[in-house]
Each structure stands twice: as structure tokens, then as C-alpha cells.
Amino acid sequence: MLLITDFNVGMSAEITRSFNANDVRAFSKLSGDINPVHLDEKYASETIFGSCIVHGALASSIFSTIFANTLPGPGCIYLKSENKFLKPIYLNEEVIFKVEVTDVLEEKKRLIFKTIAITRSTECIVGTAEIFIP
């Protein structure tokens, strides 16, 4: 069982992932987001990106993976997130997703996290998240 007192500012966790065309197609089908910049290489090649890019919502969902499985772990409730998408993530590109506790709100049983996704030493997604510890 998770206890809010088990967590401290500075605790962190990370996971490395990449997304292939099958991942993007599956997410597109589930979400209904059929923007051709994600699915049509010819179309995407004519955009500022030059190639297909991963949905921002798909990439940022990996923060939930960390929260649910690692930090804080099973039983936590993901309440809120805010993300800024700074750079595109391309198909088959390795991405490091990191979360770090920035505040522990003991009375409210909440943890505040800094979230970041990095490719090729470049920040792609930066944001915050709020997690409830029941």
C-alpha cells in the first residue's frame, strides 16, 4: 500500500521507449486522430517535420506508465497533467521519459512531478503532473 510519507522531493524514475508505425496506427485507430502528419509519409514529407511524427498524446501517455508501475506505483491516481510539446518525436526514435517529485503535499496526499521527454539530448516534452496517493 502506498503512503504519502514514503515519498520525498527529488525522487525520480525514467523509462526509455520508441514508437514504430504500428504503434502510431494503433493509437490513431483508438483515439480517432487520423492527422496525416502521423500516418502518411508522403504528406508528412512535405511538412515542416519532413517525416511522420508520433502523436504527442501517445508519447506523453508514457508518463502514466511510469506513475502506474514505478513511481509512485500501483494504486496511485493520475489527477492532472500539463505538457508543452517543444520538438517532434519521429518514428523509431529512442525517447527517455523522466519524472521527478518536486513537491509532496502531505495533507492532500498528493505528489507534484516535473515530467520531461528527451530525444538526442533535446527536450521534446516538458510539463508537470499531480498524483493522488489514496
- The model's pLDDT over 90-116, given as tens digits with 9 standing for 90+, comes to 999 999 999 999 999 999 999 999 999
Range of the domain at 103: 4-132
pTM of the entire predicted model: 0.94
Q: Residue 1: pLDDT band by 50, 70, 90 thresholds? A: confident
- The model's pLDDT over 121-133, given as tens digits with 9 standing for 90+, comes to 999 999 999 999 9
Q: d(Cα 82, Cα 121) in Å, to the nearest integer? A: 21
Number of domains in the chain: 1
Q: Which of 41, 2, 7 is nearest to 111 (CA)?
A: 7
Q: d(Cα 59, Cα 38) in Å, to the nearest integer? A: 12
Q: What is the DSSP letter of 87?
A: S
We report the CATH number of the domain holding residue 117 as 3.10.129.10
